[in-house]
């Protein structure tokens, strides 16, 4: 019977024009050549793999810059300055961040009650798909709780008093934002105290949990933005080797073999291929900087502030980016180039608008001075803020003394009618008390205006935020 099967396979191979000895040969090593197919698929891989590469860059910063190990908890005891190099962080919240890995089994997370603080955060898997939200709008409803994070395929017990959060990947991270809603310094103290009540430890140590390690990252570099060059593909290959293959990704995983990324093989592109990979990443990067395939919708007619209508249905779907009959990889790429830590449930706590061009359609740039007039009665029940980001990275401008301003700033200058004038220029003082946000010569930038506790006047558009406009350079 075995002889008949071998003969049949030899016949099939013969009809295909292959020698029967092909049965015994190992798979050929990936080619070192750069073909048109290699170039095409490199670009598609960069678009498809952005969530993974971004995840890996933040994890690298966690290990390298913080000196952390899995389950250590990073917290920012003061609001972020430029050294928090992640995508579009705000300069108001106290951040809490931790990486987890479930290869050795489940991990326990203890979330304390929110109290009177504004708490908003979530657990993300390796694809940055939100697993669950925490805080008053999250699974714990602000009451806190103990949660068991379980790896793919886990069928073990869940201890009494714990709630299971099943992960689709082995890797994940937490990002919790603790946001003071006033200038009362006691809120910052309470935020830091809450951060230091969070716990992460292996289920195997539940009988005697180890002492929790907390690392304060205030004014320390956390360089967590993935650079879009040939190393971007090393990140994708590394993450795919660590995670199970989802059925939604089988076609793309097959295409990745063209560029040398496949299960069970080291990713080792030739120098020529690395040059082609770098070129593909740069092309995708250029597209993403100018919004690529995502349309921008002006929020107020005639003004430069906009939102992305394309993202709203995806946000309502829990940021899986699966909508109708498609996995929306273009929208996903754009989102994770601009942001991270999306919510599982779309809430009404904040609303954002962005501006990257002046009213004449020119990019905002660090060589010029600009101004923004914020009318009185901003429709934000808690407060408003504005931050500036590097168009190239979506992070804060490096070495900028002032990255943002909010309405709770103790030294904010407010006009007699309640309006506020903000200036954007090189050389803003580090105190931020002159209502200036720093720019960097040679850097294009964009601004994000956040409304915390948005009110109806924002949505019926009876209140209008004028565009950021260029002004003549002003003497100091």
Residues 6 or more apart whose CB falls under 8 angstroms from that of 434 comprise 413, 423, 428
Distances in whole angstroms, Cα of residue 349 to Cα of each of 246, 451, 453, 458, 469? 33, 8, 5, 13, 28
* Mean pLDDT (the chain, rounded): 92
The per-residue pLDDT for 428 is: 64
CA-to-CA dists, residue 65 to 58, 101, 397, angstroms: 10, 18, 18
Q: Partners of 214 in the beta sheet?
A: 73
Beta-carbon contacts of residue 136 (< 8 Å; ≥ 6 apart): 114, 119, 142
- pLDDT of 410: 86
- pTM for the model stands at 0.91
| pLDDT tens string 450-466 | 999 999 999 999 999 99
Reduced to 3 states, what is the DSSP secondary structure of residue 185? helix
pLDDT value of residue 349: 77
Measure the N-to-C terminal CA separation of the chain; round to a whole number of Å: 92
pLDDT cut 90: percent of the chain above it: 82
pLDDT digit string, tens, across residues 396-443? 999 999 999 999 998 899 999 999 999 999 976 655 568 999 999 999
The domain locations on the chain are 1-28, 66-223, 348-471
The whole-number pLDDT of residue 430 equals 53
The confidence score (pLDDT) of residue 429 equals: 62
pLDDT at 291: 74
Residue 135 is predicted with a pLDDT of 95
Domain 348-471 falls in which CATH fold? Answer: Jelly Rolls (2.60.120)
Q: What's the token pair of residue 379?
A: 């429709």
Cα–Cα dist 95/317, whole Å: 25
- Residue (of 338, 302, 353, 286) closest to 469 by Cα position: 302
Could you report the per-residue pLDDT of 256-304, keeping only the tens digit for each?
999 999 999 999 999 999 999 999 999 999 999 987 656 688 999 999 9
Q: What pLDDT shows up at residue 317?
A: 83
pLDDT value of residue 12: 43
Token digits of residue 16: 């295909």
- The CATH code belonging to domain 66-223 is 2.60.40.1610
- Positions in the chain whose pLDDT score sits under 50: 1-3, 5-13, 15-16, 18, 20-28
Report yes or no: 428 and 438 within 8 Å, Cβ to Cβ: yes
User: Given this model, what pLDDT does residue 148 score?
Assistant: 99
């Amino acid at each position: 019977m075995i002889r008949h099967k071998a003969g049949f396979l030899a016949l099939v191979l013969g009809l295909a024009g292959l020698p029967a000895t092909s049965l015994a040969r190992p798979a050929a090593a990936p080619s070192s050549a750069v073909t048109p197919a290699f170039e095409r698929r490199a670009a598609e891989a960069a678009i498809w793999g952005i969530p993974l590469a971004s995840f890996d860059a933040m994890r690298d910063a966690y290990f390298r810059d913080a000196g952390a190990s899995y389950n250590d908890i990073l917290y920012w005891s003061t609001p972020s300055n430029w050294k928090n190099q992640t995508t579009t962080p705000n300069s108001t919240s106290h951040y809490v961040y931790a990486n987890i890995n479930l290869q050795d089994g489940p991990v326990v997370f203890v979330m304390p009650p929110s109290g009177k603080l504004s708490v908003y955060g979530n657990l993300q898997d390796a694809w940055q798909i939100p697993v669950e939200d925490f805080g008053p709008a999250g699974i714990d409803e602000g009451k806190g709780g103990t949660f068991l994070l379980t790896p793919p395929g886990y069928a073990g017990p869940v201890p009494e008093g714990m709630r299971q959060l099943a992960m689709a990947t082995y890797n994940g991270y937490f990002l919790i934002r603790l946001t003071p809603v006033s200038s009362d310094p006691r809120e910052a103290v309470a935020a830091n105290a809450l951060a230091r009540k969070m716990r992460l430890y292996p289920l195997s140590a539940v009988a005697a949990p180890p002492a929790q390690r907390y690392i304060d990252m205030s004014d320390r570099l956390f360089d967590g933005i993935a650079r879009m060059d040939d190393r971007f593909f090393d990140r994708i290959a590394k993450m795919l080797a660590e995670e199970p293959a989802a059925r939604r990704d089988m076609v793309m995983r097959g295409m990745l073999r063209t560029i040398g990324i496949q299960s069970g093989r080291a990713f080792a592109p030739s120098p020529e291929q690395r040059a082609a990979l770098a070129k593909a990443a740069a092309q995708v990067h250029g597209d993403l900087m100018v919004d690529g395939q995502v349309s921008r919708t002006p929020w107020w007619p005639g003004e430069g502030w906009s939102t992305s209508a394309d993202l709203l249905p995806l946000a309502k779907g829990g940021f899986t980016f699966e909508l109708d009959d498609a996995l929306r990889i273009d929208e996903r790429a754009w989102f994770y180039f601009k942001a991270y830590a999306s919510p599982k449930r779309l809430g009404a706590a904040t609303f954002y608008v962005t501006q990257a061009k002046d009213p004449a359609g020119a990019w905002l740039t660090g060589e010029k001075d600009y101004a923004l007039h914020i009318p009185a009665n901003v429709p934000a029940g808690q407060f408003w803020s504005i931050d500036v980001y590097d168009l190239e990275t979506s992070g804060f401008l490096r070495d900028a003394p002032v990255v943002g301003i909010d309405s709770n700033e103790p030294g904010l200058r407010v006009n007699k009618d309640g309006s506020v004038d903000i200036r954007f220029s090189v050389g803003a003082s580090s105190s931020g008390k002159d209502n200036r946000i720093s720019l960097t010569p040679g850097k294009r930038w964009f601004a994000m205006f956040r409304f915390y506790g948005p009110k109806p006047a924002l949505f019926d558009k009876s209140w209008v935020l004028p565009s950021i406009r260029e002004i003549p350079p002003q003497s100091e």
